[in-house]
Amino acid sequence: MDVPLIFERSRAGRRGVVLPPPENGWVNPEAWLPPELVRTAPLGLPEVSEQDVVRHYTQLSTLNYGVDTGFYPLGSCTMKYNPKVNDWAAGLAGFADLHPLQPEETVQGVLTLLAELEGGLAEIAGMDAVTLQPAAGAHGELTGILMIKAYLAARGDPRTTVLVPDSAHGTNPATATMAGFQVREVPSNARGGVDVGALRHALGPDTAALMLTNPNTLGLFEEDILEIADLVHAAGGLLYYDGANANAILGRVRPGDMGFDVVHLNLHKTFSTPHGGGGPGSGPVGVKAPLAPFLPGPRLVKQNGGWGWNYRLPQSIGKVRSYYGNVGVLVRAYAYLRAQGAAGLREVADMAVLNANYLLARLGPQYQTAIARRPVKHEFVISAVPQKHRGARALDIAKRLIDYGYYPPTVYFPLVVEEAMMVEPTETESKETLDRFADAMLAIDREIDASPELLAEAPHGTVVSRMDEARAARQPRLVWETSPRPGEARGNQGGH
């Protein structure tokens, strides 16, 4: 497991590729470059053979943990297995080898796919029109909120405030702020939903929108959603749907039917694109008809018996991304939707909800539920406060899970739950996997009393053990040192 750094493999004079000298000799860079651009010190690159490089990165790849190697219960992220056939589809030459500036008549196949995907996502979300441009969920949020701002301005009603529940994703208030709005928090009630009384008090003539996800970040369905929608609309505001948790409702209920005016969907969570590692992502946005004129341009339209782009959109908020979105992600999503069909999407949601409730039932006797016990949707939040009183924090439990071979759940989120652990099993995991994970969590709970040192120092079987997260964040050491300082070892607390 202890793979050395590529610099530690370096040996003076070793090369991966040796080029023959050119016929006229090597060009002296000092003869044609300005003096200030001529390097005076070596690059400091490792000197390694091709075999060294191949073995190094192959060994590093065996340290990766992902949905292809194990259970990934990272709450709020929907880290589910992604069918490889969708990767194959996205890699077809007719998609992968296109250039975004090709004439429209040469790319009718992919334009047809994009148009059909827009229609399918509109149907799933209960919207009238969809843009595929946004490159991620938060990017979709910003696109949606900017459209709300433009819509309100066009009707002569420039409002200033966006309401956000206290359990919301952090991107919600950040997005509203970036769009120039003030943010006002709405508290939750005892059952984990929006406090309708507090919402009534918060609504006013300055309310532009309420940003909400349903089910919410606690994995609970907003029981008062129709009343919430009526209140927001009566106040002259709009309802924005954060699609992070759409995996729980596919084919069962549509945001548009709940009263939402704007929706973003995370294709990299719900619709089969590999999730994590910084991208790529995709966050299409759907809107009801009154907001359609404000969608980013260009828009796909039927013309001359085929598909083309319409750039003449006087009320559009303009482009939000170069070209037309992350097309490889869109192809994967299209393949996933065509393979699942309406019945398959309902089964996705049903199994995601079943798995979450089964796992919660397994853990319930030892782990405290965050909210008064009620059925959850696709994910749930438990609180490790009882375990903390016995000597183990949520972080200790998460670190110990690594020794059992599992990626830890999300910890300390949502912020409204003390010692939160947020678990999302997704629909793609088997009962056997869920049982093994539950057995590990229950075993760790017993270890708190029997062997507390196991949790305090976990993980024990990894290349690098417990990191000092606070020190690493506040005092990062950004320069690699070829030899440890006195009294230090490589991989110590704080890291190099």
Write out pLDDT tens, residues 118-134: 999 999 999 999 999 99
Instruction: Tell me the pairing of strands 238-243 and 207-212.
Output: parallel
pLDDT of residue 276: 62
What average pLDDT score do residues 283-302 get?
A: 97
User: Is the per-residue pLDDT at 305 higher than 60?
Assistant: yes
Q: What pTM does this model have?
A: 0.87
Cα separation of 42 and 195, whole Å? 63
198-212: burial string, b at 16+ Cβ within 10 Å, e else: bbeebbeebbbbbbb
Q: Which residue has the higher pLDDT, 127 or 276?
A: 127
Enumerate domains of the chain plus CATH numbers.
1-60 (no CATH), 84-340 (3.40.640.10), 344-471 (3.90.1150.10)
Cα separation of 234 and 205, whole Å? 10
User: Is the per-residue pLDDT at 494 higher than 80?
Assistant: no
pLDDT confidence bin for 17, thresholds 50/70/90: confident
What average pLDDT score do residues 158-185 get?
A: 96
- Are residues 167 and 185 in contact, defined by beta-carbon separation less than 8 angstroms? no
User: Is the per-residue pLDDT at 216 higher than 60?
Assistant: yes
Model confidence over 425-442: pLDDT tens digits? Answer: 999 999 999 999 999 999
- Strand order across the beta sheet in which 262-265 lies: 129-131, 285-287, 262-265, 238-243, 207-212, 161-165, 182-186
What is the C-alpha radius of gyration for the chain, rounded to an integer number of angstroms? 26
Q: Which residue has the higher pLDDT, 160 or 22?
A: 160
Instruction: Tell me the pairing of strands 306-310 and 299-303.
Output: antiparallel
pLDDT of residue 279: 66
Distances (CA, A) of 19 to 16, 371, 451: 10, 66, 59
User: Is the per-residue pLDDT at 33 higher than 50?
Assistant: yes
pLDDT confidence bin for 477, thresholds 50/70/90: confident
Q: Where are the alpha helices (DSSP H) in 295-430?
A: 327-363, 385-389, 394-403
Model confidence over 406-421: pLDDT tens digits? Answer: 999 999 999 889 999 9
Report CA 445 to chain centroid distance, whole Å: 29
pLDDT confidence bin for 72, thresholds 50/70/90: very high
What average pLDDT score do residues 302-329 get?
A: 94
Distances (CA, A) of 219 to 162, 349, 468, 486: 22, 13, 31, 49
For residue 261, give every residue at least 6 positions away whose Cβ sits within 8 Å of its Cβ, in sequence order, or none.
148, 238, 239, 240, 287, 288, 290, 291
Distances (CA, A) of 381 to 1, 96, 287, 403, 450: 33, 40, 31, 22, 25
For residue 479, give every residue at least 6 positions away whose Cβ sits within 8 Å of its Cβ, in sequence order, or none.
none
β-strand partners of 380:
423
Report CA 345 to chain centroid distance, whole Å: 20
Q: What percent of the chain has pLDDT over 90?
A: 76
pLDDT of residue 487: 46
- Are residues 424 and 215 in contact, defined by beta-carbon separation less than 8 angstroms? no
User: Is the per-residue pLDDT at 486 higher than 50?
Assistant: no
Considering the chain, what is the average pLDDT of its residues? Answer: 92
Cα separation of 250 and 344, whole Å? 9
C-alpha distance across the termini of the chain, in Å = 18
| Residue where the block lists tokens 């300055």 | 206
User: Is the per-residue pLDDT at 484 higher than 50?
Assistant: no
pLDDT of residue 277: 58
| Residue where the block lists tokens 């009263």 | 259
Among candidate residues 341, 252, 313, the one with its CA nearest the CA of residue 129: 313
pLDDT of residue 495: 36
Cα separation of 394 and 388, whole Å? 7
**Residue 96: other Cβ atoms inside 10 A:** 12
Report the amino acid identity of residue 9.
R
User: Is the per-residue pLDDT at 493 higher than 60?
Assistant: no
Report the amino acid identity of residue 54.
V
Q: Which residue has the higher pLDDT, 92 or 462?
A: 92
- Token readout for 443 is 């075993």
pLDDT of residue 64: 81
- Are residues 196 and 229 in contact, defined by beta-carbon separation less than 8 angstroms? no
β-strand partners of 420:
383
User: Is the per-residue pLDDT at 40 higher than 80?
Assistant: yes
